[in-house]
Structure 1
Amino acid sequence: MANGLRLAGKKDEKIIFFQQFLKHPLQIGSVIPSSPYLERRVLDMAEVRTCKTVVELGSGTGGTTKAILSCLPRDAKLLSIEINPQFHSFVKTIDDPRLIAHLGSAADLGKILAQYNLPNPDAIISGIPFSTMPEELGKRIIQEIARCLAHGGRFVAYQFSSKVSHLCNPVLGPCKKSMEILNIPPMRVYRWEKNGFKPQT
């Protein structure tokens, strides 16, 4: 019976995810949540198992949030930022003391970290679609990520488009890139490591 309820819950999440994509196609980067294969690749590239503080930008219905928590150290914290109220309501139901679920914009990352008295994160993981947002907003978010990330920290973005690399490379330098084909749609996964921050002039 419990397994049946879990399967029904997963189905409901996918339906709601698709409905929200239809309502907000520029805000959501895919028609369905990430696959377990994509989640595993993202977590490995972000080195989540070694982190004390992780930020997730764009939690969706919480699938990747749960995957992060499954390998996050017990004394670590995960700040999950979601701009969509419907998706945020899913993430708030996750019962884990390490999780802070925040409804808001990635562009306010620094203020949100300060609000919860969190240190500079060791990893920032992003599924928000940089390809469909206004250029200036994308640049502002990347600047916030670069400013807030701990020295030596990782920024990992999984994206359908390569737009994020054009925004991020001038700020954080060259990236490592891989492709996860076992996802709908196939996703590019990018990783930057903060060794020097180049603020825009």
Structure 2
Amino acid sequence: MANNNKNNSQINGRQIFVQQFLKHPLQVGSIIPSSRFLERRIIEAANVDSASVVVELGPGTGGTTRALLNAMPQHARLVSIELNAYFHNLISQIEDDRVIAHLGSACDIQSILAEYDLHAPNAVISGIPFSTMSRSLGTQIIEAVSSVLAPRGRFVAYQTRDRVATLCRPIMGSEQAEMEFFNLPPTRIYQWEKKMDDMVEQPAL
């Protein structure tokens, strides 16, 4: 019976993804949810198991959100920022005190963290499709992510195209990338680590 419920949930998740993709093709990055293989790679790339604050941009139907929660420490917090009201409602129904479902834009990540009195995130994970947004909007989001990340914090973006890498290199430098073929469509996982500030404060004269 439990397997039937899980299968029905997966089928419903796919149907919802297709419906929202057809309604909002520029907002939804894929026509079906991420596979468990892709979720595992995302978790490893972001070092979620040692994070205290994680931000998820574009959680969709919540499959990756649940995978992150399963991997996170019990004391950690997860802020899921979703622009799509239908997806946001689904995330709001997740029964876990560690998750904060926020309806809003990824551009506002700094003010959103301040609203919930959270410190700089150790990881920001993005499933939003940079390939379908304007260059200026994509750059704005990446600059916002870079500004809030903790030193050595990681930005992980899973994408079907390489637009995010082109936008991110001038801001966060060269990326690490790998492909997950056990996902439809096959998806790249991009990773950046925020460098420590190597400027040493000079003593006052």
| 1:79 aligned counterpart, secondary structure | strand
Q: State the Cα distance separating 1:2 from its structure 2 match.
A: 4.2
Aligned pairs (5 A) from 1:178-189: 178-189=178-189
- Which residue type is aligned with residue 22 of structure 1? L
Unaligned 5+ runs, structure 1: none
- Which residue type is aligned with residue 50 of structure 1? S
The CA distance in 1 between the partners of 2:196 and 2:86, in whole Å, is 37
Could you say which structure has the larger radius of gyration? 2
Match of 1:175 in 2: 175
- Which residue type is aligned with residue 141 of structure 1? I
Q: State the Cα distance separating 1:14 from its structure 2 match.
A: 1.0
8 Å Cα contact 1:172/1:196 also seen in 2: no
Q: TM-score, normalised by structure 2?
A: 0.93
Aligned pairs (5 A) from 1:16-27: 16-27=16-27
RMSD: 1.1
Deviations 1:49-77 (A, max 9, x none): 01000000000000000000001000000
Q: State the Cα distance separating 1:176 from its structure 2 match.
A: 0.6
Match of 1:124 in 2: 124
- Which residue type is aligned with residue 15 of structure 1? Q
- After superposing on structure 2, the runs of 4+ consecutive aligned residues of structure 1 that deviate more than 6 Å are none
Task: State percent identity of aligned pairs.
Answer: 52
Match of 2:98 in 1: 98
Match of 1:63 in 2: 63
Match of 1:13 in 2: 13
The CA distance in 1 between the partners of 2:4 and 2:194, in whole Å, is 44
8 Å Cα contact 1:127/1:157 also seen in 2: yes
Q: TM-score, normalised by structure 1?
A: 0.95
Q: State the Cα distance separating 1:165 from its structure 2 match.
A: 0.5
Alignment size in residue pairs? 197
The CA distance in 2 between the partners of 1:174 and 1:193, in whole Å, is 9
8 Å Cα contact 1:161/1:188 also seen in 2: yes
